[in-house]
A = this chain, B = another copy of it.
Amino acid sequence: MTREMEIICVGNELLIGKTLNTNAQWIAKQATTLGITVKRITVVADDVNEIATAVRETLKRKPQFTITTGGLGPTFDDKTLEGIAKALNRKLEINTKALKMVREKFEAYAREKGTETVELTPPRIKMATLPEKAEPLSNPVGTAPGVRIDTEETMLIVLPGVPSEMEAIFHETATSLLEQASDKSVFYEKSIYADRVMESSLAPLIDKVMRDNPGVYVKSHPKGRENRPHIEIHVSITAREAEKSEEKLQKAIRQLSSEIGKIGGKVVVD
């Protein structure tokens, strides 16, 4: 059985189309590579109730992991931890370890600038105010720590929305948490491209190849226009044994290529 994950992205900027959700893609790719199945991505606004509702709904589905992005900063509309606290019925409290992380960051910035005092203003203390029983995750490139919260069935990993910070905390902490929990299965994929054949003519061949190659998933992605067809065919498998999986993938691709040739298509392999 592969492990499951959901991703919740918090941010009005995603809902007004200002920002492209590269975070969701990046995390989905990392998780997939580690053999974890991403089941759902949800994007909600900077609103405590919207966040709490989405988190509650996700936890009901009991994924092993849930990663959230966004809403951890110092401003009034950074509400992710408040939303999570509400969803979990936990109080928010100043987390000593998180406060130490935040203070050390501001001390380092002050030293760089040659200024002396570091004032822990309410917006700065806010970044260290976490739900009870939470573990702050060190942020190597910014001030707001990430947060890990264990619930009965799900490990919540709460990351900032700034991509460089999200990725840095992910690499430093989340990767190893996901690896530890993983059943060591790995994701293999390869794309081939078919010209001179329409997607609707490929459909029965894809059915056949998937029937003949259990475990292999084949999906067509039209890239040209339906009357000037150029179709990417993405072939993938998630499995434990490296060698056998590669073999299975290659076998499916050979069969697919031969079938496409039979109906007059031209296959291009990268």
Contacts and interface: CB of A to CB of B under 8 A. Distances in A.
Contacts of A226: 105, 109, 141-143
Interface in A51-96: 54, 57, 73-77
Contacts of A198: 109
Contacts of A141: 225-226
Contact of A124 (B41, B143, B200): B200
Interface in A17-39: 17-22, 24-32, 37-39
Contact of A76 (B20, B40, B206): B206
Q: Interface range on chain A: under 10, 10 to 19, 20 to 34, or 35 or more?
A: 35 or more
Interface stretch (A148-156, A216-224, A242-250): A216-224
Contacts of A162: 222
A168 B173 CA distance: 43
A255 interface: no
17 contacts: A16-B187, A16-B189, A17-B25, A17-B30, A20-B21, A40-B42, A40-B43, A40-B54, A57-B57, A73-B220, A74-B200, A75-B203, A75-B206, A76-B203, A108-B227, A123-B201, A127-B200
Given A15-B28, A77-B219, 15 more contacts: A15-B38, A15-B40, A16-B38, A17-B31, A20-B25, A21-B24, A39-B45, A41-B41, A42-B42, A74-B199, A75-B206, A109-B198, A121-B200, A121-B201, A162-B222
Interface of A: 12-22, 24-32, 37-46, 50, 54, 57, 73-77, 105, 108-109, 112, 121-124, 126-127, 141-143, 162, 164, 187, 189, 198-204, 206-207, 210, 217, 219-222, 225-227, 234, 236
